[in-house]
C-alpha cells in the first residue's frame, strides 16, 4: 500500500506543490493510501453559500442541481464550488482504514460525520438519490477519502443523522461564539435565523448574560419569526444585510449609538462586509463565519470608512467544536425542537 502525506498533498493533480484545499484538481480514485480512511457516503451537507449559488444557477430545478454538483466533482475530484470556493461536509460509514491509522479508536462500520470541508475531500458521486433544497442536504451513493489530518465525529445516538449533520456542518460558529462573547457584551448577529445564526444566538445569550445585549437580524419573514420564537434576542431586526447604512442605523438605534462590541456574520450571500463593519464600534470585533465573505471587501472597506476593528475569518474548526455545538442543541429544548422541525 502506497504511503501518503498526512495532509493529502499526494492527491493533488494540479497545480503541484499545493495542498488539497487550494488545488484546482485532486485525485479521487478510491484506492486508499496507507494513512487514509475510505468512507461510503450517505449524505452531503453542502455549504449554504455554495448551495444557494448552485440553486440559483439551476433556477431551482433539482435535476439541474444534481448535474451541476456531479460536474463539479467530475472536474475537480472534490465538491469545491468554483464560484464560492466553499464545500460542505458528509456523513457515512467507514469502509476501510489504512494500516498507519490502526491505532485510532475507529473501525469499519462506524458511522461518522466529516469535520473537514468537501473543498479538500476526494469524493466520487455514483448517484444522487434525493435533494432536500430546504436543508442544503443531498443523499447520494458514493465514496470519499479522509486524510490522516482529517477530523471527524461519530454520529450521536440521541438524534437523527440529518439533525446531527445540520448542526455539525456549522459547528465552528457556536464554538467560536462561546470563545468570543464576554459578559456584558453587545452582540449583533447577522443572519441570525439560519442554522449557524440560531446556534450562535444561544451561545451569545448564555455568555453575555443579563448585563449584555443580543441584537439579531433576519432577512425573510420566516427567519425573523424563528429568531423571535427562540427568544434569545433582546432586539430583533429585519432587514437587508447588504444595505450597510440601513443596518448601521438600526444597530445605532438599538444601542443608543454605542454600536456592537462583537458582530457575528452568518449570512450566505456576498456584499455584507460593510454592514458588519459599520455596525461594530471602534476597537470591536467582527467574526465572519460566512463563506461568502470577501477578505478584500472587508479589509479595504474598513480602511475606507476609518474603522479600527478586529476582523476574524471564520475558521470552521476550533477545539471541541463538535461537542460544543451538539451540547448547545441538547441544552435548549426550544432550539432542538426548531432544528428537528427544519432539518430532521
pLDDT tens for each residue of 23-51: 999 999 999 999 999 999 999 999 988 99
State the DSSP string of 243-284: -HHHHHHHHHHHTTT--EEEEEE--SSSS-HHHHHHTEEEEE
pLDDT tens for each residue of 107-148: 999 999 999 999 999 999 999 999 999 889 999 999 999 999
Q: Are residues 136 and 218 in the same domain?
A: no
Q: For residue 226, give the CATH number of its domain.
A: 3.40.50.720
pLDDT at 290: 84
State the DSSP string of 141-170: EEEEEE-TT--EEEPPSSS-HHHHHHHHHT
Domain residues for the domain of 148 are 9-155
Does residue 102 register a pLDDT over 90? Answer: no
- Residue 166: inside a domain, yes or no? no
pTM of the predicted protein model: 0.84
Domain end, chosen from 98, 120, 155, is at 155
Q: Are residues 136 and 223 in the same domain?
A: no
pLDDT at 104: 85
Q: Are residues 195 and 330 in the same domain?
A: yes
Q: Are residues 149 and 181 in the same domain?
A: no
Domain end, chosen from 155, 185, 206, is at 155
Q: Are residues 212 and 178 in the same domain?
A: yes
Q: Are residues 110 and 203 in the same domain?
A: no
Q: How far is CA 68 from CA 55, 81, 191, in A?
A: 9, 10, 26
Domain end, chosen from 97, 123, 155, is at 155
pLDDT tens for each residue of 258-278: 999 999 999 988 999 999 999
- Residue 4: inside a domain, yes or no? no
Between CA 164 and CA 241 the distance in angstroms is 28
Q: Are residues 184 and 211 in the same domain?
A: yes
Query: 111-114 and 88-97 as β-strands: parallel, antiparallel, unpaired?
Result: antiparallel
Does residue 66 register a pLDDT over 80? Answer: yes
Residue that has been written with the C-alpha cell 506543490 in this structure: 17
Question: In which order are the strands placed within the sheet that holds 186-190?
Answer: 235-238, 213-218, 186-190, 260-265, 280-288, 310-313
Domain count, the chain: 2
Q: Are residues 19 and 100 in the same domain?
A: yes
Q: Is the dihedral of CA 170, 168, 219, 56 positive or negative?
A: positive
Q: Are residues 20 and 134 in the same domain?
A: yes
- Residue 240: inside a domain, yes or no? yes
Taking residues 185-201, report their average pLDDT.
96
Does residue 344 register a pLDDT over 80? Answer: no
pLDDT tens for each residue of 291-303: 889 999 999 999 9
Q: Are residues 19 and 126 in the same domain?
A: yes
Closest CA to 252 of 283, 279, 284: 279
Q: Are residues 62 and 130 in the same domain?
A: yes
Amino acid at each position: 500500500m502506497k504511503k501518503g502525506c498526512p495532509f493529502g498533498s499526494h492527491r493533488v493533480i494540479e497545480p503541484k506543490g499545493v495542498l488539497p484545499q487550494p488545488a484546482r484538481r485532486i485525485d479521487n480514485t478510491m484506492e486508499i493510501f496507507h494513512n487514509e480512511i475510505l468512507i461510503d457516503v450517505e449524505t452531503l451537507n453542502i455549504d449554504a453559500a455554495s448551495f444557494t449559488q448552485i440553486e440559483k444557477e439551476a433556477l431551482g430545478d433539482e435535476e439541474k442541481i444534481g448535474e451541476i454538483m456531479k460536474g463539479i466533482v467530475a472536474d475537480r475530484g472534490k465538491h469545491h464550488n468554483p464560484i464560492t470556493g466553499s464545500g460542505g461536509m458528509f456523513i457515512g460509514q467507514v469502509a476501510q482504514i489504512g494500516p498507519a491509522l490502526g491505532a485510532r479508536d475507529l473501525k469499519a462500520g462506524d458511522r461518522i460525520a466529516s469535520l473537514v470541508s468537501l473543498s479538500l475531500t476526494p469524493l466520487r458521486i455514483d448517484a444522487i438519490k434525493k435533494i432536500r433544497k430546504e436543508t442544503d442536504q443531498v443523499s447520494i451513493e458514493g465514496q470519499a477519502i479522509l486524510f490522516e489530518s482529517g477530523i471527524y465525529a461519530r454520529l450521536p445516538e440521541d438524534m437523527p443523522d440529518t439533525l446531527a449533520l445540520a448542526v455539525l456542518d456549522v459547528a465552528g460558529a457556536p464554538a467560536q461564539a462561546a470563545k468570543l462573547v464576554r459578559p456584558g457584551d453587545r452582540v449583533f448577529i447577522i443572519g441570525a435565523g439560519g442554522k449557524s445564526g440560531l446556534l450562535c444566538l444561544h451561545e451569545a445569550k448564555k455568555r453575555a448574560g443579563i448585563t449584555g445585549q443580543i441584537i439579531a437580524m433576519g432577512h425573510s419573514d420566516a427567519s425573523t419569526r424563528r429568531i423571535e420564537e427562540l427568544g434569545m434576542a433582546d432586539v430583533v431586526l429585519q432587514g437587508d444585510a447588504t444595505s450597510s447604512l440601513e443596518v448601521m442605523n438600526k444597530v445605532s438605534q438599538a444601542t443608543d449609538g454605542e454600536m456592537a462590541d462583537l458582530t457575528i456574520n452568518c449570512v450566505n450571500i456576498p456584499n455584507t462586509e460593510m454592514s458588519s463593519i459599520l455596525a461594530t464600534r471602534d476597537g470591536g470585533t467582527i467574526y465572519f463565519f460566512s463563506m461568502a465573505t470577501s477578505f478584500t471587501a472587508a479589509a479595504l472597506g474598513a480602511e475606507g470608512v476609518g474603522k479600527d476593528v478586529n476582523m476574524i475569518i471564520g475558521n470552521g474548526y476550533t477545539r471541541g467544536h463538535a461537542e460544543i455545538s451538539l451540547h448547545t442543541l441538547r441544552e435548549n429544548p426550544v432550539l432542538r425542537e426548531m432544528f428537528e422541525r427544519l432539518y430532521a
